[in-house]
Amino acid sequence: MPGQDNERQRIEALFDRLNARRLIPFPQPRQSLKAPRSQGVYVIRDRARRVVHVGRSLRGKEGLFQRLRNHLNAQSSFVKVHLKGNGKKLRDGYTFQCIVEENDRKRALLEHFATAWHCPVHLGVGRKKGAK
């Protein structure tokens, strides 16, 4: 369908913009997190620059800032599972890239596209620990 092709191209262009963003290090203790307070999509990379998680902000008033801070405070499945509950590990060479996108549909499609492209180490699939 022509409309879908156009939307797919717009999502791919957003993805290219996300990947072109500079890598921002997670802050050291007593430093502030440098992330937008708007809704958007983010990619977290480990010290080897490997993509370990792709996510998006959903509803929080503080947007990306709040979601990334949740990771630092071990309030996410990514940290609980991949970092064994230690969000402070993010301060040891992990970086993130993010892009603001206020439209819910575009944000969801971009997150899915980025996840499929990067094949991150951790997938937040909403399963309880030990479930298959």
Quote the DSSP letter at residue 27.
P
54 belongs to a structural domain: yes
122 belongs to a structural domain: no
For 28-61, letters b (16+ CB in 10 Å) and e give eeeeeeebbeebbbbbbbbeeeebbbbbbbeeee
pLDDT for residue 126: 54
Tell me the per-residue pLDDT of 29-51, one tens digit each, with 9 for 90 and over.
999 999 999 999 999 999 999 99
pLDDT for residue 131: 45
85 belongs to a structural domain: yes
130 belongs to a structural domain: no
95 belongs to a structural domain: yes
Number of domains in the chain: 1
Query: Which structural domain, as residue segments, surrounds residue 106?
Result: 2-112
pTM above 0.85? yes
Run of H or E residues at 7: helix 2-20
